[in-house]
Structure 1
Amino acid sequence: MKAELISKAECAQPGPSRLTHGQGWFTQEQGLLTLLDREFTPFRTFDLGEDLSSFAVSPDLTRVVAGGKDHIRLLDEHGTTLWSVEHTPWGTGYSYSGSCAFSADGSQVWATVPETGPGCEPHDEDAEDDEDAEDAWLEGDEWWVVNAATGALMARKWLGCEATGSVTHLHPDGVHMGLDVGEGQDGSRIYWGAYENGVLRLSATDDVTRALTDIHPDGHAYVTIPRDADGISVHTFPGRAVIAHRPDRDFLRSDEWPIDARYLDRESILVETVDRNWTCARHLVLDAEDLRFRGEITYPPGTVPSSFHSVHAGTWHTNDGNHLCAWRPGR
């Protein structure tokens, strides 16, 4: 399957990446976040500070939430801090890094924080109390839902894990949030959350051997890759049942394994593999429903394969160190 070059633009390093759901572009270096227009011209810059754990840009591109080592703060389009909420510092125990995201309408901030220590408990009369909840894990890191306008804690849930890192996924239904948490040698955990009618509902998969990489554009399924398992799987949402599985031996060479898998469009999944040196090996296309192997992406002569990113609406981007290249499957 040939890759068709759509555009090629010179870019300084680090090159730009697309914001969630294709709503803009950004570069991030040494605490400075720069938003770019479609021509990659900078139009807004935020100083996110040192010891940055994560950040997220609001749907209207006017605000940024920055997760620091011991706080979460919201900045407006002028760089002014509108509010800041403290939490136990990352790295205090075995929790090293988190993630954050805005809800679909920008009214909430979802953020993971380390296990809350003595004297750091959030105090808010409107926050949901988990102590009597049947589905609560009363230990480990927490998932907070914060009012984006005021910084007030709306709800929180214990996750029962200690993250080395995590990624928050916005579900297309605008209600649910997905959370992939890596725990190093202890594997990976997947959580689903929804805040409705003043209550945060949380569920988790029992499998700690797989990582959530993407959600189908229609929201009815999601794809996972192995951490301590075999092959790529597609699961139903919200049921979480496996509806398709492709073992490694069916599409991988003996010296490679999948490192990422994203929905290229509603019908196909783009998979990246790496070799034993953690170097990008191949880009493969699988059917989104049954994971049937559709083909390997072949690039024009002289193109050095590199990690894909900014997968969106049938296109993806690569960066060769000097140029940002946009691709789509050849017709």
Structure 2
Amino acid sequence: MPDLPETEFDCRALSPASGHTIVATADDLVAVDESGAATWRYPFGSGRPLGAQRTTCTYSRDGALVWLYLPDVYAGRGAEDRLVLLDAATGALVDEAPLPVPGGHSASIDLHPDGVHVLLCVGCGQDGTYTFLARATPGSPLACEPWPADPAALGSLWLQGMFEDGSTVLAVTDDGTRIEFRTWPTGDLAWSVTLADLGYDLESGGIEPLWIGRVVPVADGRLVVVEVLGEQEDAEGNLTEYTASHGLDWPGRTVLKQAMRGHRK
């Protein structure tokens, strides 16, 4: 790919509508064709980095647009992070929206199956994790608002994706102790599962720290696999990594304790 910048990539994404690829660095976003030739560039400047941060990019489901998260605060480019929407064919700016966050280090962008909405999750380190619902509709300004609307959830949810039909969004609380199932599009809490519900005794379990890592829906959302991580001290005082997988029956709202066992490695 001769036209790509000779630097580390922050992220990359393949167009669902063509063979083109977008590649983000800390300084710009580049679109390249199948031969590696750049078709357009969207520069956002190097700034004066204040800490570790990564740009995030992805195509819309139809490949017509590009969603771009810019960690401008920690990149030293401005006072607010931004969500940017670009024309995928030309790289022209369609619209952008400021993000009211303390300053993000990285983000994830989940595309809803309706092809219009996305959920943006911005990780702000010790200041929490902030989620937003954005909407791109032709002829209208880019809409971006905190999600869910419940103020208690602001800065406290780490998104883990959604079911294939987009009906339910999975999240883990910022402290890593609880899984939440939230309905689309309101974000109402439909079910939650804590580490204690998974069978862990947080007072005398011998595993510390302990947190929920990944939450992955399988079998069309009927089963959800939860990964629990931690550290465990053996009889000689040595710390070993702990990992366990648990199954959740979403339709039945039950924990399948017998489905998978934990192990140390």
Give the residue type in structure 2 aligned to 1:110.
W
Residue in structure 1 matched with residue 247 of structure 2 by the alignment? 285
Of 227-236 and 98-107, deviating more is 227-236
- Measured after TM superposition, the shift of residue 171 of structure 1 is 1.0
Compared CA separation, residues 92 and 216, structure 1 to 2 (3 A):
same
Residue in structure 2 matched with residue 186 of structure 1 by the alignment? 127
Residue in structure 1 matched with residue 235 of structure 2 by the alignment? none
2:263 maps to 1:263 = no
Residue in structure 2 matched with residue 274 of structure 1 by the alignment? 229
Percent identical: 22
- Measured after TM superposition, the shift of residue 61 of structure 1 is 5.9
1:177-216 correspondence to structure 2 within 5 Å: 177-198=118-139, 199-205=141-147, 206=151, 207-216=154-163
The count of residues paired between Structure 1 and Structure 2 equals: 240
SS at the partner of 2:221? coil
Residue in structure 2 matched with residue 148 of structure 1 by the alignment? 88
- Measured after TM superposition, the shift of residue 115 of structure 1 is 2.7
Residue in structure 1 matched with residue 234 of structure 2 by the alignment? none
- Whole-angstrom CA distance in 1 between matches of 2:40 and 2:3: 15
Compared CA separation, residues 185 and 252, structure 1 to 2 (3 A):
farther
1:87-106 correspondence to structure 2 within 5 Å: 87-89=44-46, 92-94=49-51, 96-106=53-63
SS at the partner of 1:185? helix
Tell whether the 8 Å contact from 2:176 to 2:213 is kept in structure 1 after alignment: no
- Whole-angstrom CA distance in 1 between matches of 2:40 and 2:199: 48
- Measured after TM superposition, the shift of residue 91 of structure 1 is 6.2
In the superposition, the TM-score normalised over structure 1's length comes to: 0.65
- Measured after TM superposition, the shift of residue 230 of structure 1 is 3.4
Q: Residue 107 of structure 2: which of 142, 159, 166 is its match?
A: 166
Give the residue type in structure 2 aligned to 1:201.
A
Which structure 1 segments of 5+ residues have no match?
Answer: 1-31, 33-44, 122-138, 307-331
Of 225-234 and 104-113, deviating more is 225-234
2:29 maps to 1:72 = yes
Residue in structure 1 matched with residue 187 of structure 2 by the alignment? 240
Give the residue type in structure 1 aligned to 2:178.
G
Deviations 1:169-191 (A, max 9, x none): 11111111111111111111111
Tell whether the 8 Å contact from 1:98 to 1:163 is kept in structure 2 after alignment: no
Which structure would you say has the larger RCO, counting Cα contacts within 8 Å and 6 or more residues apart?
Answer: 1
SS at the partner of 2:96? strand
In the superposition, the TM-score normalised over structure 2's length comes to: 0.81
Which structure 2 segments of 5+ residues have no match?
Answer: 232-238
- Whole-angstrom CA distance in 2 between matches of 1:296 and 1:273: 15
Compared CA separation, residues 67 and 283, structure 1 to 2 (3 A):
same
- Measured after TM superposition, the shift of residue 85 of structure 1 is 0.9
Residue in structure 2 matched with residue 128 of structure 1 by the alignment? none
Deviations 1:218-273 (A, max 9, x none): 11110101222631100011101111111221105342321110211321211111
Compared CA separation, residues 60 and 188, structure 1 to 2 (3 A):
same
Q: Residue 9 of structure 2: which of 52, 58, 62 is its match?
A: 52
- Measured after TM superposition, the shift of residue 52 of structure 1 is 1.4
Compared CA separation, residues 215 and 94, structure 1 to 2 (3 A):
same
SS at the partner of 2:46? coil
- Measured after TM superposition, the shift of residue 296 of structure 1 is 5.3
Alignment root-mean-square deviation, CA: 2.9
